Structure 1
């Protein structure tokens, strides 16, 4: 099992945590919702309470204004314009004014409530047009009661409201420009509103705490699959590549991530498997020439031998050395191709010229094996490593001498199909069996074991071809039928538009 990475130490700053960020965002949203809901609830309750108070006060003002309007003219003038001074103001008028004063009382428009002190009772006041008091219903300590100012806006609203400490008052302009005011003590209402605010705040804090606990539990449950992913990823090692993340109970988003990681682990496992197989195959391939070297060296040293025998032993050792050198060179080529980098960088060149150079280099070898190659080449510009792609062409041409009998006819063609350069090498040789065809690009795989070993082939040629072609963004395929020949197709992205200049050789 692989060693787990050390946990980061907490310094002056806390380590960033996905769960912590989720919890912070959740807490912020929850706090905003609770504050908004509590604020709305508080202001609705406060507005509703003051609306009820104002309705009671305004109804009382309307009733008092109606009583003033209902009084006869002489009595109203005596009340609102001062005591009578002429002979017409008889004792009867004075009695009428006194009776009106007695009749003016706070109307019964207020909801029943317990009154513990005299100043808690509703009261009213009437001022004459000049600001002098005409009537006052209470002598309790309600503070300084000054006449309000009636402006154009107050006249337009008809009833106006004001706060005077813990007293709420409504006033309006009545008959003969008199100001009628009704008020009451709102201390209990203010306490009720504050109690409601305290209840809302307490409830909000409790809900916020419960929400945080619930959010922590939910976030912990939500990130549990991430912890499983971390555990599996941490346990993955060279000797433990078969473990996979279970996605049956994961949410879709995390399941997609887990599936991607599982695919990555599968590719990693396959890569390690190929590496182990490659190492085992390379060791096996090197074992034979090393055994030959050791055997002939031991035989040569076992007793005195003639110069011819020593020469024969050295030639055999040299042949084994060449075989090992070829194998090492092939493995180095594979390693460079797997690295997918070119020391010289990508180069622009003509595929036709490259094929002609490869044909010139292998012409003697092909002629010695009586292999006839016809070329039908079109000029196609490519971009890549010219030497590596030249090795692909050389390997495919050399395979003709290994797997085809004398008098075999082959054709090599270059065409362009939708901005893709296509190199085709076809022969009329013995072909490849259907059971072998899917494996011919595997490393160290040989179709004809004895013949391949006799020719010094390590079974890496086609594997090198595929690795180089794929490193250039292309693909290589093979089609074959026993007794009908084999066709290899190499497809590479062209550097620009294709221009065909067919030539036959």
Structure 2
């Protein structure tokens, strides 16, 4: 990023623009005010000088006459011009630097009518001269006194003021720009550190965190980014663990298939030996296919694929499922019962709900020894659908209950492998339940069996926020 496109530069330019506009405004106001004050003071001084001169004017034969030498006024009051006119406008006396005054007759007439007139006369190559006309001796019939003074002193003060304003304004803008850039750098330094840290973070190392040094907006941003990086770290860790577990689970049946096929092909064998090898390969292939199917189900759930929702009669779905599993129960010498199936309707994906209850029912049958029982029930509790699968199997130790819904988690790895379990069934069940706005609970005691309960919102309650609290 170039300096001219950076936020700190743009902030500094905007700050200088606003400051420059304010300085220009106040400098203009102060210049105009001081100019008016100086000109007003200059006119007052000119009028005072005229009053002092009038004291020395006498009226002789109807015309004004200056009795005292006015040289002192030229020396002390910096006069440039002094002129006397009679009542008819005839020039009687002139002293100083005389020059042609445009519109003199009009000025004399105005002075006769208004008793006092100010005017500014521009002179080529010189500073303008300010003139003042007033009655020579108290009334307009006594004649007119005209005096003039150069405005050089006022112009000099205003020129100096303009130079001070320009230099002071430029220095102020320069210092403000340097200070603004420094403050912008300091304020945005955490952003640069965040950028540098974020660039150093990769998918292989998400342990780095952005340092939070302040409790301001940038500090909150850093905390938010750290939380996001933490979630990404957890997601990548779970993904890597899932990939490693999946690879491990697939490696075992693949190794058995390879070993069995290599052994069968190493030398000629009789049909019974070939049949035994093919049965092993078929069994492991079936196990691998089931594992891949479950992995695909987990992957679809993780990708957030939408459910194909429809109104489903849970009691009918569970009844059909119980009939399908009845032969398997009989082959394992289990009593498969239906406790009660109340008419229950929910809004859900038929295939996903069927997968959920197949996993629960299959687990119950798989881990219940001969002579035991598996009981299925569906009811409405507190306005929600409640489905329970209860068995009298081996049960689950208390310390394992918190992890049984984790992917690839097995309570007894050796037995699960022998039973064909993958450690994904209950994880898939929880995902399906939560995708439908429900939840799954478990109660179990070793040697006493297990009870899995799934709660769903009814089809007439689309709001899933009111699930009953766990007892």
Given the two structures, how large is their TM-score scaled by the length of structure 1?
0.74
User: Mapping of 1:132-147 within 5 angstroms?
Assistant: 132-133=89-90, 138-144=95-101, 146=104, 147=106
Q: Does 1:349 align with 2:306?
A: no
Question: Aligned equivalents of 1:454 and 1:487: distance in 2?
Answer: 23
For residues 211-247 of structure 1, give each alpha carbon's deviation from its aligned partner in whole angstroms, at most 9, with x where no partner exists: 2222222222222211211111111113222111111
Partner of 1:168: 130
Question: How far off its partner does 1:133 sit?
Answer: 4.4
Question: Aligned equivalents of 1:111 and 1:453: distance in 2?
Answer: 123
Of the three residues 156, 161, 179, the one matched with 1:214 is 179
Question: Aligned equivalents of 2:22 and 2:396: distance in 1?
Answer: 74
CA contact (8 A) 1:67 1:104 kept: no
Of 173-182 and 262-271, deviating more is 173-182
CA contact (8 A) 2:110 2:117 kept: no
User: Mapping of 1:44-443 within 5 angstroms?
Assistant: 44-60=33-49, 75=59, 78-79=62-63, 97-98=64-65, 101-102=66-67, 115=78, 121=79, 123=81, 132-133=89-90, 138-144=95-101, 146=104, 147-148=106-107, 161-165=118-122, 166-171=128-133, 175-176=139-140, 182-248=147-213, 250=214, 252-342=216-306, 347-351=308-312, 353=313, 356-365=316-325, 368=329, 369-373=334-338, 374-382=340-348, 385-404=349-368, 406-414=372-380, 422-425=385-388, 427=390, 429=392, 432-443=396-407
Partner of 1:82: none
Partner of 2:443: 480
Question: How far off its partner does 1:184 sit?
Answer: 1.8
CA contact (8 A) 1:127 1:134 kept: yes
Given the two structures, how large is their TM-score scaled by the length of structure 2?
0.79
Residue 453 of structure 2 aligns to a residue whose secondary structure is strand
Describe the shift of the 1:184–1:289 C-alpha distance in structure 2 as closer, same or farther (beyond 3 A): same
Please, which runs of 5 or more residues in structure 2 have no aligned partner? 123-127, 464-471
For residues 244-285 of structure 1, give each alpha carbon's deviation from its aligned partner in whole angstroms, at most 9, with x where no partner exists: 11112x461111111111112111111221122112211221
Question: How far off its partner does 1:142 sit?
Answer: 4.5
CA contact (8 A) 1:232 1:244 kept: yes
Describe the shift of the 1:267–1:185 C-alpha distance in structure 2 as closer, same or farther (beyond 3 A): same
Question: Aligned equivalents of 1:150 and 1:402: distance in 2?
Answer: 127
Question: How far off its partner does 1:362 sit?
Answer: 4.5
Question: Aligned equivalents of 1:111 and 1:254: distance in 2?
Answer: 71
CA contact (8 A) 1:300 1:310 kept: yes
How many residues are aligned here?
Answer: 441
Please, which runs of 5 or more residues in structure 1 have no aligned partner? 1-6, 80-96, 116-120, 499-505
Question: Aligned equivalents of 1:304 and 1:313: distance in 2?
Answer: 13
CA contact (8 A) 1:440 1:447 kept: yes
